[in-house]
Amino acid sequence: MPVFEPPIKEEILGGGLVLLEEMLGDDLTPAKIARISYLSEGDEEANRKLLIKLLHMKHFSPFEQQVFRFKIEGIPMYIGEQLLRHRIASPLKRSFRFTSPDKGTTIEYTPDSLNKIVHIPPEFFNLRESHIDNKDELIQDIINHIRKSVELYQKLVESGLRKEAARTVLPAGLRTSLYWTINMRSLMNFLEQRLSPKAQWEIRELAKAVVRILYRVVPLTIDNFLKISGLEKYYRE
């Protein structure tokens, strides 16, 4: 079985990254836990077979004993809000009540530099197919809009307004960070919803980054789960 050596890092296409910092259990933990029902024992090969059987039977309660703590950095605020909808998890998100978008540094208003602070749609970096004709003009419009928002925020704060109130003018695409602790059963539910083509592109790329990490620490579980649930083709897209 793979040896977990934290942190395990995966970049998110379009910006941001996922780090697995801690993990409770290993690839065969759900099978070992499941044996308490019959007070049975099994060697590694027997547990591998049992794990796959549990996935086929959709007997997911043993997977609640397998827990991951991720640090997710640099995702748009609205993607962070989508993560919070997966309620059987424990999130702790960066607060813009107490932090500024520029983190005390000077913002460079170029597409690549700005994209590290505020999410710019992937179409403008040719990461996703689009039919936008006037990209150069529109990217400049986006940059100017963000510049005005940040400058107004800074002006409000410097004038004495609370950061928690001044943030009302900041862009929705402002990048944020959070810790996300979640068990494997809830993580599988997340992947069922967020790997789907119906999900937003940005959160699909986040889900793919999570899958790439899982392949490094629980390959038997994630490989069989994706195949059994029919999600493998979406992960490969």
> Cα(74)–Cα(66) distance, rounded to whole angstroms?
26
Vertex 207, ends 75 and 74: CA angle to 5°? 15
Angle at 174 between CA 171 and CA 180, to 5 degrees: 140
Q: At which residue do the structure tokens 């993607």 appear?
A: 79
CA distances from 11 to 6, 14, 74, 115 (A): 15, 9, 10, 14
Helix axes 201-217, 77-84, angle to 10 degrees: 60
User: 117 with 107: CB under 8 angstroms?
Assistant: yes
DSSP alpha helix (H) spans, 85-124: 111-114
Q: Considering 194, 204, 212, 216, which one is annotated as catalytic?
A: 194
Q: Check if 87 is active-site.
A: no
Residues labelled as active-site residues: 194
